[in-house]
Amino acid sequence: MHILLEKRHIVLAALVVMLGLAVFVNWYTSGTKTELSPEGTAEHTTVSGEVADGVAKFTSGDEEDAFAEMRLNRASSRGEALEQLQAVMADADENSEEALSAGAAIDAITQASRMETDIESLVTAAIGGSCIAVISENAVDVVVSAGSLNDTAALRIHDIIDGVCGDQFENVRISAARDE
């Protein structure tokens, strides 16, 4: 029985790691072709005239549509993750470590989702432009609409993140989308 529980813990840990990786890969490779840049709207081009890595850039469509698509991709990724975790909880004994770990992961996803929504609402109200926030293991990434980011706005956004998240995250990256 003890070996069976250890195997379940290993499987649960592997599922949680794979789920986190899947959420990150989905966010990173979303169809908007948006990259985050701590430099904001600064011009970064290569010798060939292409945009260098690390610059937020919308390649097609309206900026609002791109933000909406990123939110939809984030919500669908989280929904899939929650479904998998709930399936793990349904298969596990109620008080087992597996069920408790899945419950903790569900709570973490719910808390991250709530913090992202709070950050987005407060930043939008503070700077007047659209924004999207993405919380990962130890980082908060915020992308605001083109032309909305300046030094004052960056400080306000950082204060909002501190107010919502406290000191939970090591890295805070704020960037502006770049329209072409």
User: How is the chain split into domains, by residue range?
Assistant: 2-42+57-176
For residue 164, give the H/E element and its range.
helix 151-165
Best mean pLDDT range from 15-29, 51-65, 93-107: 93-107
- Determine contact, residues 115/100, Cβ cutoff 8 Å: no
Q: According to CATH, what is the number of the domain 2-42+57-176?
A: 1.10.287.4300
Rounded-to-integer distance, Cα 27 and Cα 23, Å: 6
Q: Which residue has the higher pLDDT, 71 or 50?
A: 71
Name the E strands within the chain.
131-135, 139-144, 171-176
Residue 68 has pLDDT above 80, yes or no: yes
* % of the chain with per-residue pLDDT over 70: 74
